[in-house]
Chains A and B, each alone.
Chain A
Amino acid sequence: MTDRETLAGRQTPAGRETPAGDALDERFVELLRGVLPAAKRAEPITPDLDLKAAGLDSMATIELLLRLENAYRVTLPDSALNGRTFATPAAVWSAVEEQREA
C-alpha cells in the first residue's frame, strides 16, 4: 500500500478525525504551512505536494518533525527519519498516523 492510498483511506467519511471531503487534517496543514518559507505559503497544500520544491529544507524538516511530535505526542522512529517520509504531506501524515496507531 502506498502512502497516498493510506491517506485516501483516511479521507472517507468513516475517518476518525479527518472531515469528509477534506484532503488533510486541518491542524496538520496549518502546522506544515508554518514551517514553509513565506515565498511559498500562498500555494495550496495538497497531499502530493512536492515538499522540497515547496521550500521544506533540512532546517524546516526538523522544525516540522519537532512540532509534529509535540502536537500529536508521538516519536517518529529513526527508520522513519529520511527523505521519503518528508517528500509529501501525505507521506508525513502517514508516518505520524503510524505512530498514533502504534
Chain B
Amino acid sequence: MRTVADDLTHDLVHHLPASAVAERPDAPAVTDAHGTWTYAEFDARAAAFATWLGERGVARGDRVLSRIGNVREFVAMLFGTLRHGAVFVPIGAGMKAYHLNAVLDDCAPALVVAAETDGGVPPGPHVHMLEKFWPEVEEIALGGPEEPEPARPEVSPDELGLLIYTSGSTAAPKGVMSPHRAITFAAAAIAERLRYRSDDVVLTAIPLSFDYGLYQVFLSVQAGAHLVLSGPDEHVRLPALMRAHGATVVPVVPSLAEMLIRLVGRGSAEPPAVRLFTNTGAALTPPLAARLRAAFPTASIALMYGTTECKRTTIMEPDGDLDRPHALGRPLTGTRVTILGEDGRPVPAGETGEIVVSGPHVMDGYWNAPELTAERFRRDPETGERRLHSGDYGRLDADGHLYFEGRRDDLFKRRGVRMSCQEIEAAAVDVPGVEAAAVLPPADGHDLTVFAVTDLPAADVLAGLAERLEDAKVPADCRPVTGLPLTPNGKTDKRRLTELLG
C-alpha cells in the first residue's frame, strides 16, 4: 500500500515548486491584484530574494519577518527566505503595535519587510519597505543566470522553516516552531486527501499570515496549480474575481462563506464554477454548508480540523459531512488521534476527552517558551512518542471520525480567528484608566463582551482595545463596572457575569 511517505518527494519546503518549475515553467503560478507570474518568473524572484537577503547579511537560521498582505511578493519572499536557509515569520497586517512589539522582541528578526502604507512597524536599519526595495529584487531576477546563485549549504529538514504566531492562553501571541520536515509532511498528507490538480485555480482570500492561507501556497505549488491571491479590500468583488480567473478551489472560513453566499445572490449571473470549498479555522455549520451548496451547485465541501501546532489533524472526504453531520473526518494518513480521559488514559470510541495528536506533522513547540512547550508537547508515557495535547476536547466514532466538542481553557475562536480571554483582558488593563477586566467569549445570546472596572465610558474602552488588538478580537460590547464578581475561591465569577448580560 502506498503511504504518504512514498508521495513525500521533498523534505525541504523550498523544493515543493521544483516539479512545476521544471515541467511547466510557463504555466501561471501566482496572481494578485497587480498581475501574474509564471512558475519560471516566480522561481526567478524567489532566487533573487534569497540573493538579496544574503547581500543584507541575513544568515542561515535568522528570522525574516514579513508583514505584507496577500500579494505575489509574499510568495517569492517565502520561498526565497527558505532557499536562503532562514526562517520565515508571516505576520498579519491586522496585528497592532501592542502585539507586534511583543512578537518583534520574541523572534528578534534579522530583517523585516513591511508595506509602505503600514505605519505599525517601528522603523530601524533592518526594516525594509516592500515598494522601495522590490525593484532591486526584480533587477537581480532579470539579471538572470549570468549571476549564479551563491552556493549555500542546504538546510536540514530538521531546521525551522516557519515561525507561526498564534494566540494562546497568554497575554502575547507565541510562535509555533515549524521545521521543514513537518511542513512538507503536512503538505503531502493534506494533498493526499484534497488532491489539488495542476489545472486547479486556488482562490486564497484568507490571509497568507494565517496558516490556513499559507498552506494554500504549499498545496498549490506542489500540484503546479494557479494560486490567485485576494486581499480584504477585494472581498466585495470576489464572485467577479472567481469568474475572471476560473477559480476551482476556494478555502473558506464561515465569515468568508457567508460573504460569498450573499454576494452571489446579488446578481443574475451564473455562480462561479467552483469544484471544491475547504473549511477549517472555524466550523462551517450544517445550515451554512447547505446554503453554500445551494449558492454554488457545482461545488463539494471538505471539512477539516486542525491547529497550528500540528497544522492539520483531520480531513473529511469531500461532501462526507452530508452523511456524518458535525464530523471532521479522519486523521491524516500516517498520523494518529487519541482521545485521553481525565486520568490521561485513552477512552473508548464515543467517549469525550482531550484530542491528542501524534505523527510527523507535530511541530517542534513554541519559540522561547520551554514551559509552555513542555505542557502541550508531551511524551507518550508508554511509547515515548511526542504528542500534541491540543487542549481541544472531542470524541472519535467507531469508524475513526473526529467530532469537536469545545475547549476547557479560555481559548476560543471568533470570525475564524483564534484568541483567548486572557489576551483580551491583558489588552484591556493596558488601556489607561482600566483597573481590571473580564471577558466573556461569544455564546448564545451575546457576542464577545468585556467587563471593565473603570470610570471610562464603554466606547473609550472599546476604542483602546481597537488600538491594541486585531479587529476580530475587539469585543462587540463593553460593560463598565465598579468591580468584578468573584467565586468563593477568588476567581472571576464568569457565570455571574453571564447572568448580568441576561
B-binding residues in A (CB < 8 A)? 37-42, 55, 57-59, 61-62, 65-66, 69, 75, 78, 81-83, 86
Contacts and interface: CB of A to CB of B under 8 A. Distances in A.
Nearest to A70: B266
Given A57-B471, A59-B259, A82-B233, A39 B240 contact: no
A42 B263 CA distance: 29
Given A39-B463, A78-B237, A59 B255 contact: yes
B275 to A, nearest CB: 23
B267 interface: yes
A42 B240 contact: no
B379 interface: no
Contacts of A62: 235-236, 259, 262-263
16 contacts: A37-B476, A39-B459, A39-B466, A42-B459, A57-B471, A58-B232, A58-B236, A59-B415, A62-B236, A65-B236, A65-B266, A78-B240, A82-B233, A82-B234, A82-B236, A86-B233
B430 interface: no
Contact of A58 (B235, B474, B476): B235
Interface of B: 232-237, 240, 255, 258-259, 262-263, 266-267, 415, 459, 462-463, 465-466, 471, 474, 476-478
Contacts of B466: 39-40, 55
B70 to A, nearest CB: 12
A42 B478 CA distance: 14
B234 A57 contact: no
Contacts of B462: 38-39
Contacts of A39: 459, 462-463, 465-466, 474, 478
Contacts of A66: 262, 266
A61 B258 CA distance: 13
Nearest to A63: B262
A40 to B, nearest CB: 8
- Secondary structure at chain B's binding surface: helix, strand, loop or mixed? helix
A87 B238 CA distance: 18
For A42, A62, A65, A86, the residue with the greatest tally of chain B CB atoms inside 10 Å of its CB is A62
Contacts of B255: 59
Contacts of A41: 459
B232 A57 contact: yes
Contact of B259 (A58, A75, A78): A58
For B233, B259, B471, B478, the residue with the greatest tally of chain A CB atoms inside 10 Å of its CB is B233
B466 to A, nearest CB: 6
A83 B232 CA distance: 9
B266 A75 contact: yes
Contacts of A38: 462, 476-477
B448 to A, nearest CB: 11
A75 B237 contact: no
Nearest to A61: B236
A75 B268 CA distance: 11
Nearest to A58: B235
A64 to B, nearest CB: 9
Contacts of A42: 459
For A37, A59, A65, the residue with the greatest tally of chain B CB atoms inside 10 Å of its CB is A59
Contacts of B266: 65-66, 69, 75
For A37, A39, A66, the residue with the greatest tally of chain B CB atoms inside 10 Å of its CB is A39
Contact of A61 (B235, B240, B463): B235
Contacts of A81: 236-237, 240
A75 B267 contact: yes
A86 B236 contact: yes
A69 B267 CA distance: 11
